[in-house]
Amino acid sequence: MSVDAPLRHPGASADCPVCGGLGLEIVRDKARLIATPCRCRLDVCPACEDRAVVIDPDGVMRACTCARVARRARRFDEAGLPGRYGAATLASLADTEPANATAASRVREWAESWTAHDPPPGLVLYGPVGRGKTHFVVAAARTLLLTRGARVRFLEFTHLIADLKAAFDRGEGASSLLDGLGEIDVLVLDELGKGRLTEFEDQMLDDLISRRYNAGLPILATTNYDPREPTGQRTANLARPGGPQPTLGDRVGDRVFSRLREMCRFYPLGGEDDLRTTSRKARW
């Protein structure tokens, strides 16, 4: 598959080690990541003098490349990527442990092959807490935002439910939020299966997945629950060690699980250590 040439800001340095010529630097702004003008960029775009349009030699007016870069910056800011994952890039996946090499390879291939007119099936990464699942999907989302200009939204599942409840409390209903999430290019759902298994949660998740399913749009998801065949038991959110372990199907229900299996490819992340613990020890 051919890949479009990288977008480069007219006022940015093509060999900048931070932005590679895109003209955007990713920084943490409290709880989220945002895109800011790279320090290598000139104050004024040399192609359009900040008018956002240029005139071709044949006299045709078109949008300046700097305007396309600005649109990617806005989309990046709107995506809601979590601030603690500023180091999550496709290149960083090369440092994963051998047990997760297959998942890393599939995530890279997925991000590099994505196109808006023919998106590949979604991905669900599953495994124990702290194995790097969120890091992987943020790396993929970041790539789509910066290299393809995709519309992406990152949501932790319980935060999504809280947003939906707030919409109901305001008398707006869920449609306004679900309509947007059902149409966006790529939806990233972190901690799928987390929650209290209420009827409201089940209904909202079913509605959202159905919208994505019918539109043929992909989902990137992480979950701590194994996608093996459901047991049929609506178990507690966190099973006790040594006791029956809930599956993803047990957590999201048969209908949603069936659609996820059709929409997505599943890859495990394992390894010996909880990366949150080991990285914390390294900092200390």
**pLDDT tens string 20-52:** 999 999 999 999 999 999 999 999 999 999 999
- Do both 30 and 139 map to the same domain? no
- Do both 140 and 66 map to the same domain? no
Confidence of residue 240 (pLDDT cuts 50, 70, 90): low
Q: Residue 144 sits in which domain range?
A: 84-280
- Do both 242 and 266 map to the same domain? yes
pLDDT top residue among 176 and 12: 12
Instruction: Give pLDDT, residue 177.
Output: 87
Confidence of residue 168 (pLDDT cuts 50, 70, 90): confident
Q: What is the pLDDT of residues 241-262, one digit of tens each?
A: 556 678 999 999 999 999 999 9
- Do both 211 and 106 map to the same domain? yes
Taking the C-alpha atoms of residue 253 and residue 145, their distance in angstroms, rounded to an integer, is 31
Confidence of residue 230 (pLDDT cuts 50, 70, 90): confident
Confidence of residue 237 (pLDDT cuts 50, 70, 90): low
Please state whether beta strands 152-156 and 61-63 pair in parallel, antiparallel, or not at all (unpaired). unpaired
- Do both 221 and 276 map to the same domain? yes
Average pLDDT rounded to a whole number, residues 166-187: 88
Tokens in use for 171?
A: 């008398």
* CATH code, domain carrying 240: 3.40.50.300
Residues 6+ apart with CB under 8 A from 253: 202, 205, 206
- Do both 276 and 204 map to the same domain? yes
- Whether the pLDDT of residue 218 is over 90: the answer is yes
Full strand arrangement of the beta sheet holding 152-156: 152-156, 186-190, 219-223, 122-126, 264-268
Tokens in use for 240?
A: 């006790």
Quote the mean pLDDT of the chain.
90
- Do both 130 and 50 map to the same domain? no
Tokens in use for 213?
A: 């399913």
Q: What is the pLDDT of residues 119-129, one digit of tens each?
A: 999 999 999 99
Whether 5 is in a domain gets the answer no
Task: Yes or no: say if 89 and 141 are a contact pair by the CB < 8 Å rule.
Answer: no
- Do both 56 and 149 map to the same domain? no
Tokens in use for 260?
A: 């996820």
Average pLDDT rounded to a whole number, residues 55-62: 91
- Do both 89 and 173 map to the same domain? yes
* Residue that terminates a domain, selected from 46, 62, 79: 79
Confidence of residue 272 (pLDDT cuts 50, 70, 90): low
Going through 158-253 in order, the beta strands assigned E by DSSP cover 186-190, 219-223
Average pLDDT rounded to a whole number, residues 225-233: 87
Sign of the C-alpha dihedral computed for residues 99, 104, 107 and 113 taken in this order: negative
Taking the C-alpha atoms of residue 133 and residue 120, their distance in angstroms, rounded to an integer, is 19
SS3 state at 82: strand
Q: For residue 85, which of 237, 214, 208, 188 has the smallest C-alpha distance? A: 188
Residue with tokens 């051919």: 2
